[in-house]
Each structure stands twice: as C-alpha cells, then as structure tokens.
Structure 1
Amino acid sequence: MTIAVKSPYSSEQISAWLRGLLTIAWADGNFDEQEKQSISAIAQDELVGGMNVESYETITPEELAAVFGKNTSIAENFLRTAVMVAIADGIYSPSEDELLHKLCEALGEPKNLLESLRHTLENPQPVEAASGAASSLIRPVKPPIEALNPLRDWLDGLDVEDPKVARFLCKMIPNQCPFERDVKLFGRKIVHIPPLCKINPLYEQLVGLRFRALTYLADDCKEDISEYI
C-alpha cells in the first residue's frame, strides 16, 4: 500500500529538480541502450506522463535559480543530488565539471565545494593495461582520500524528503557494484576495468544515499521497493 506523503517542495520545484538531474545525466553524452531506457522511464514516470525522452528539453542554471532561489536549502540539496548523478558512473567528465560549477554560481553555493571533485578530473590515473598496450582513455578517479572528506561530509548531509526524487535516485544509482571486467581485442586483453566501487572514491556516499531513498519510500511512503532491489 502506498500512502500520500506531503513533500516540503512544490510540484514546480520537483519538476525543475528532476529536469536538472536529467540535464546533469545528459552532460557527458555517454549512454548505452540500458541507460537510455532507464532515463526514458524516469522522464515518463516522474515528470510528464508520456514524455518522449528524445524531445526532452534541458534546464539552464538560471532557470533553476529562478525556481529554487539562491543560497537556499533546496538549492543546496539539489546540488548534492546533482553531484551524485555526475559521479554515479565513476567518471567525472569535463562537461559535468563545467555544468556543476555553473550551477554553484547560479544557485549561490560556494564553488570550493567542488574543488576536491575537480581534483579527480585534473589528476586521473589510467587503469591497468596489458603489457605493450596503449593507455586506456577509461580513467578511474583516485584522488588522495583526505582531499574528498569535506565533500563526503557535505553529501552525507542530504535528507530524502520527496517520493519522486527518491525514486529518481533509486533508478539512477546502481543497486550493486558492477563487476570488474577485461576488454579484449582479437582474444587479447587490452585493458582491465576495475569494479565501480574501486574506481569511484564517493561510492560509499552513493550507496548511503540510495539506502536512505529506499528507506524513505518503504517506511514513510509505504511503497513496494522490490523493483529497486
């Protein structure tokens, strides 16, 4: 049985929030077929019924600021979820970095929140490659552990308070650490990709956020969460 839970946010704010997260998800332009289907389902289920994902319109930082205001609690919580979506696949891209910094400026949040995250972009480490093989373009993020501690604490401060946002997070964050794998060409290993939990220094924050979203849906909203497990 599902019960109606009063969200502290308006329908306009939640719509803008989800459009903003989808804009972040779209930022690096890297989607396999499963990701496209997942994002399409989110757009249809959590935004406007029947929305065509191909015609989806992104939202600008300025439009988000007009809805959220500057230096507000909802702006900060949105930015937390935006960071989570940006690093959910373990790779922090230049396009995601640029967009997140524009969001910080528009929403009145200090840009230094993301400096440690930018460190993962500027100091990538190549994954293990087979002997004699060219360096891989797939780069796990592995900054010094202590450099990310302030960002970890800030991300852990997010409370899940809206069913649509909770469902979005449950769909976007993987329910388990993807297995490591070897990429082979003509039967020869050219690169080894470690599991996501090894290459993403914020993986524990992602898992914790997903758990809080699941708990909120199950305990507060009385929703069946079996589809997310």
Structure 2
Amino acid sequence: MTTQCTPDQYTDEQICAWLRGLLTVAYADGHFDPEEQEFIASLTQDELIPNTDLGNLETITPQELAEVFGDDNSLKENFLRTAVMMAIANGVYSKSEADTVHSFQEALGLDLEALKSLEATLWHPEAEKTGETKHPDVLKPVKNWLDGMEVKDPRVARFLCKMIPSQCPFERDITLFGKKIVHIPPMCELNPLYEQMVGLRFRSLSYLADDCKEDVTPYI
C-alpha cells in the first residue's frame, strides 16, 4: 500500500521551527564548532524553505515550538525522532542533549516510553574513565519508535535523504548551519541507531520515487 504524495503538508513556519529545534539540540552540549552548521544549511536551503535565510536561524524555546506545531501529534513525534537522531549522531547521548529533548517533549505534550529508555544510555564521562560504563540493552523501544516514522511530506523526505548518508561514512566532521558540532568516526561503528536512520532514508527514497514520481538519482 502506498500513500499519495501531498506537497507542503507542513507549513513553512513549521519547517522553520523544526530546523530551529534541531539547531537547539545541536547547541545543547556546548560543542557547536564552525563546521557543523553546513550539515543542515547546505542541504535544505533550496528545498525546504527557500525564502528563509537559514544562516540567520536562531534557537527556539520549547513553548515557541509547541505553539507553531499546534495539535499535530504526528508532526510533533516526527520532529522528536529527528531530534534524537541529531543528538546521537556521534554515538553519545549526553545529559544536556537529553534535557533539551525532554523539554521539547514536555512542551509538546507527549509522554514517550521510548525516550525514557533512551535516557538509560546517557553518557557518563566519569564512569567511562574508570571503566564502569554500562551498555544496557534498552534501545529496542527507541528503535521501534524510530522505525515508526512515516514520511508524508516531500520536502522532509528530501531533507532526510540528504541528511542521512547513503552508506557508512568514514571519519568526518559533522556541520550544522555552517558550524562544526563534532568530529566523529564511522557512524555505523558508533551510532547504535544507525540501522534505523538507514531504514528511514530508504523509506524517504521510496516515498519520493513511488508516490511523488521524483527522480531520486541525486540522492543515491
């Protein structure tokens, strides 16, 4: 069963707020170096909100995000899914990132068990130094939650196809809005949710090709 391609399901204001939310998550742990902004800015300017200067985007408060998203629970959950992917891009889910994601979740009026289980994987640098780091197998709810993301907006689908690499990337710098957030080794080695990201990319490609009848060659 396929879904009909419905251009502009989300408004420009909602897309802009979505990106500002991701920017806020990127800023959360304080490691927002100059190269990482490019991660989204260079990928979205022409396709998501061409009339908005992404370089001038600012962070957004949870209350502002909630006001723009309104009562669309699907939009809210999809934003939180991408926020989690952004936060754990380097394989580490820090407390500051978790606090930011939690504040968004609370303002959006959602109570997600998947995010509660994800918090059990929080990175504790002190424990890592002493060799006491634990790796509990608690990510199944998060993986199932991410796998449940439906792609219904072609602009978001294009964004995801560009944001998520087509294959396990080599060591590289990740940039967002022209600033470097973090330098990471191959994503497939560190990111426990990499398979979910690849699956989401595939669904996005399929949506664009099958439902929107778009040429997806540029994303392959």
Question: Which bracket does the TM-score occupy, shorter chain normalised?
Answer: 0.7 to 0.9
For 2:166 and 2:33, locate their aligned partners in 1 and report how far apart those are by CA, in whole Å. Answer: 18
What pairs up with 1:93-104 in 2 under 5 angstroms?
93-104=94-105
Match of 1:206 in 2: 197
Select 1:144's aligned residue among 116, 133, 136. Answer: 136
> 1:16 touches 1:64 (CA, 8 Å); kept in 2?
yes
Work out which of the two has the higher radius of gyration on C-alpha atoms and give 1 or 2: 1
What pairs up with 1:11-22 in 2 under 5 angstroms?
11-22=12-23
Amino acid at match of 2:97: E
Residue-by-residue CA offset, 1:94-124 (whole Å, 9 max, x unaligned): 3321110101110111154322222222456
Alpha-carbon shift at residue 148 of structure 1 (Å): 0.9
Total equivalences in the alignment: 200
> 1:155 touches 1:205 (CA, 8 Å); kept in 2?
yes
For 1:212 and 1:57, locate their aligned partners in 2 and report how far apart those are by CA, in whole Å. Answer: 30
Q: Which runs of 5+ in 2 are unaligned?
A: 173-183
For 2:187 and 2:86, locate their aligned partners in 1 and report how far apart those are by CA, in whole Å. Answer: 14
Residue-by-residue CA offset, 1:158-217 (whole Å, 9 max, x unaligned): 101112211222222222213369xxxxxxxxxxx8632122211111111111112222
Alpha-carbon shift at residue 50 of structure 1 (Å): 6.2
Amino acid at match of 1:203: Y
> 2:8 touches 2:155 (CA, 8 Å); kept in 1?
no
2:207 is equivalent to residue 216 of structure 1: yes
For 1:175 and 1:104, locate their aligned partners in 2 and report how far apart those are by CA, in whole Å. Answer: 29
Match of 1:23 in 2: 24
Tell me the TM-score normalized by structure 2: 0.75
For 1:32 and 1:64, locate their aligned partners in 2 and report how far apart those are by CA, in whole Å. Answer: 25
Match of 2:216 in 1: 225
> 1:71 touches 1:108 (CA, 8 Å); kept in 2?
no
Higher relative contact order (CA 8 A, sep 6+): 2
Tell me the TM-score normalized by structure 1: 0.73
Match of 2:38 in 1: 37
Amino acid at match of 2:116: E
For 2:134 and 2:200, locate their aligned partners in 1 and report how far apart those are by CA, in whole Å. Answer: 21
For 2:96 and 2:42, locate their aligned partners in 1 and report how far apart those are by CA, in whole Å. Answer: 24
For 1:23 and 1:170, locate their aligned partners in 2 and report how far apart those are by CA, in whole Å. Answer: 21
2:155 is equivalent to residue 164 of structure 1: yes
> 2:87 touches 2:97 (CA, 8 Å); kept in 1?
yes
Percent identical across equivalent pairs?
58
> 1:70 touches 1:108 (CA, 8 Å); kept in 2?
no
> 2:21 touches 2:83 (CA, 8 Å); kept in 1?
yes
For 1:36 and 1:11, locate their aligned partners in 2 and report how far apart those are by CA, in whole Å. Answer: 20
SS, match of residue 155 in structure 1: helix
For 1:94 and 1:219, locate their aligned partners in 2 and report how far apart those are by CA, in whole Å. Answer: 40
> 1:113 touches 1:151 (CA, 8 Å); kept in 2?
yes
